[in-house]
Amino acid sequence: DAMVIQNPRYQVTQFGKPVTLSCSQTLNHNVMYWYQQKSSQAPKLLFHYYDKDFNNEADTPDNFQSRRPNTSFCFLDIRSPGLGDAAMYLCATSSRAGVTNEKLFFGSGTQLSVL
Amino acid sequence: AQSVAQPEDQVNVAEGNPLTVKCTYSVSGNPYLFWYVQYPNRGLQFLLKYITGDNLVKGSYGFEAEFNKSQTSFHLKKPSALVSDSALYFCAVRDTRGSYIPTFGRGTSLIVHP
């Protein structure tokens, strides 16, 4: 029944070792988001896709990249993780981006640890 | 520009008592307002939203929220709290004149004591 699926649930990586987090959706939504959330803080938007159009937040570090090969999948690549990148990463989707009353559907998140 | 404030880091309430989690907002146009709940080590789940119409909005798990335009508030309420309601609650706003990207508040931790 899960509609937004994130894998893995927990990810441990080493300092500087590239890591990829994945997200898939069964909702056929055209918008997909990646958020970073640290210790009970508000989710911070990193970037989002509206269909294939990539939108990067101005303060998202270059260390973070994303790919969306098709409607269903979206990936978050961290090229050289630092200790400060340890966080929960949340994927979310919404439909009809032009309709601003649409709610977001979130995955369960990937908890990233950097050793 | 759009913004949202949740003035309380934590709200404590006894089981069976009513609860209120506060949220105020600022937008240029009219607001679309949302509440989400996050249980430990989980993603956010949608609770309810205000788009237009009745100021009192009912949502999941017995929660409701009251939209007050003059006070620019959208407080989350429940008449009788359960221990299982203990979680992190996020208010979010979208401006009808702005981006479709919502702005989230910093969250309020609700603790319901048995």
pLDDT category at A2 given cuts 50, 70, 90 is low
- Nearest CA of chain A to the CA of B42: how many Å? 5
Would the pLDDT of B77 be above 90?
A: yes
> pLDDT tens-digit profile of B41-50?
788 999 999 9
Q: Which fold has domain B3-113?
A: Immunoglobulin-like (2.60.40)
pLDDT in the model for residue A1: 63
Would the pLDDT of B53 be above 90?
A: no
> pLDDT tens-digit profile of A67-103?
999 999 999 999 999 999 999 999 999 987 656 668 8
Best mutation target, A7, A11, A25, A40, to test chain B (most B CBs within 10 A): A40
Domains of chain A as residue ranges with CATH: 4-114 (2.60.40.10)
Whether B28 and B98 have beta carbons less than 8 Å apart is answered as yes
Phi, psi of A84 (to 5 degrees): -75, -10
- Nearest CA of chain B to the CA of A25: how many Å? 14
Written as one string, the DSSP assignment of chain B is --EEE---SEEEEETTS-EEE--EEE-SS-EEEEEEEE-TTS-EEEEEEE-SS-SEEE-GGG-EEEEETTTTEEEEEESS--GGG-EEEEEEEEETTS-SS-EE---EEEEEE-
Q: Cβ separation of A100 and B42 shorter than 8 Å?
A: no
Nearest-angstrom CA–CA distance, A21 and A37? 14
pLDDT greater at residue A58 or residue B6: B6
Q: Which 10-39 residues of chain B touch chain A by CB within 8 A?
A: 32, 34, 36
- Nearest CA of chain A to the CA of B97: how many Å? 9
Each domain of chain B, given as residue ranges in start order, spans 3-113
